[in-house]
Structure 1
Amino acid sequence: MVEVVDPGVVKTGAYKYEDGTRYVGEWNSKGQKHGMGHLVLPDGTRYDGALIGGLCSGLGVMAFPDGAKYEGEFMQGWFHGHGVFWRADGMKFEGEFRGGRVWGLGLVTFSDGSNGFPRNEGFFQDCRLVRRKRCPEVVQRAQKVAYMARAQCQQM
């Protein structure tokens, strides 16, 4: 007996759901969004990137109606891994995310280009800075992952 763990991409197409959600991209044999795709939710939130079993997983870019944006790694629908999040007011966080929250090492840059004083860099837990620490390698990794997510979406 051969068990297929990941059925993979079997077709490409578009679908508009009853709630107004629209999806254009790749699907698996179970009819789930799977592979590369473009998703627009009823509130105007847009996602471009990788999906696994119907959920945003892998590299992607999510843009919100208020102007906020995230570029980076996703896992099971959440911001998870390294990435960059810009708030609508121009403030950004470059670093680590866990379960959709700022969680791990990273750097805050305010809309005026400053990092605050003292510098808002270090270990964040549930969006709060709990320990100051220089982490340039994590910030650089987040910037690289965000760049790769953008580049991947431009090829779609």
Structure 2
Amino acid sequence: METSAPGAVKCGGYKYDDGTRYIGDWNQKGQKHGLGHLLLPDGTRYDGAFVGGVCSGLGCMWFPDGAKYEGEFMQGWFHGHGIFWRADGMKFEGEFRGGRIWGLGLITFHDFTHGFPRNEGYFQDCRLIRKRRCSDVVQRAQKVALMARAQCEHPF
């Protein structure tokens, strides 16, 4: 049997009592592990990598209000580089920590402007603290989001 991740031993689906559905890889402990598709009762959807039962690695998450995130996850949180789009079309490309915008990045509004003065630099807890050009971090976030999107096209 071909596995998509070290430790993944089988592939299959399960519907939890709360209505959550999962289709993908599992490890020997019965945890989501490898690539999978998770659909929560509220309509939130995650496609991507799991480690030990939680979202970890590259993935994409769509929310019922139309917001989405493509990028790196760690222990269930947005963590690392990625892109987050709000439902109103505003997006942040850059670094995340513990599920929050935290680190270097760039905000782009729905009209494709960046604000004046430009909303680019170091963010802490979703607030711009220091202005700074960081095109290298934005490019890395775009690359990571593209890799996450490509992985999400994996057939389950």
- State whether TM-score is above 0.5: yes
> Aligned residue pairs: how many?
151
Matches within 5 A, 1:53-68: 53-68=52-67
- For residue 81 of structure 2, what is the aligned residue in structure 1? 82
Distance, in Å, in 2 between the alignment partners of 1:56 and 1:66 is 20
Distance 1:33-1:128 versus aligned 2 partners, 3 A rule: same
1:69 corresponds to which letter in structure 2?
A: K
2:98 corresponds to which letter in structure 1?
A: G
1:44 corresponds to which letter in structure 2?
A: G
Distance, in Å, in 2 between the alignment partners of 1:95 and 1:7 is 29
Give the alignment's TM-score, normalised by structure 1.
0.95
SS of structure 2 residue aligned to 1:144: helix
- For residue 111 of structure 2, what is the aligned residue in structure 1? 112
Q: Which runs of 4+ in 1 moved over 2 A?
A: none
- For residue 134 of structure 2, what is the aligned residue in structure 1? 135
How far does residue 142 in structure 1 lie from its aligned partner after superposition?
0.1
How far does residue 132 in structure 1 lie from its aligned partner after superposition?
0.2
2:151 corresponds to which letter in structure 1?
A: Q
Once the two structures are superposed, residues 96-118 of structure 1 have per-residue CA deviations (whole angstroms, 9 ceiling, x without a partner) of 00000000000000001100000
| Unaligned segments of structure 2, at least 5 residues | none
Q: Do the aligned residues in 1 keep the contact of 2:66 with 2:87 (CA within 8 Å)?
A: yes
Give the alignment's TM-score, normalised by structure 2.
0.95
Distance 1:17-1:130 versus aligned 2 partners, 3 A rule: same
Distance, in Å, in 2 between the alignment partners of 1:152 and 1:28 is 19
How far does residue 155 in structure 1 lie from its aligned partner after superposition?
2.4
Distance 1:71-1:37 versus aligned 2 partners, 3 A rule: same
How far does residue 153 in structure 1 lie from its aligned partner after superposition?
0.9
Q: Do the aligned residues in 2 keep the contact of 1:7 with 1:29 (CA within 8 Å)?
A: no
How far does residue 7 in structure 1 lie from its aligned partner after superposition?
7.2
- For residue 147 of structure 1, what is the aligned residue in structure 2? 146
Q: Do the aligned residues in 2 keep the contact of 1:39 with 1:46 (CA within 8 Å)?
A: yes
Identity percentage of aligned residues: 79
- For residue 39 of structure 1, what is the aligned residue in structure 2? 38
- For residue 96 of structure 2, what is the aligned residue in structure 1? 97
Distance, in Å, in 2 between the alignment partners of 1:124 and 1:46 is 27
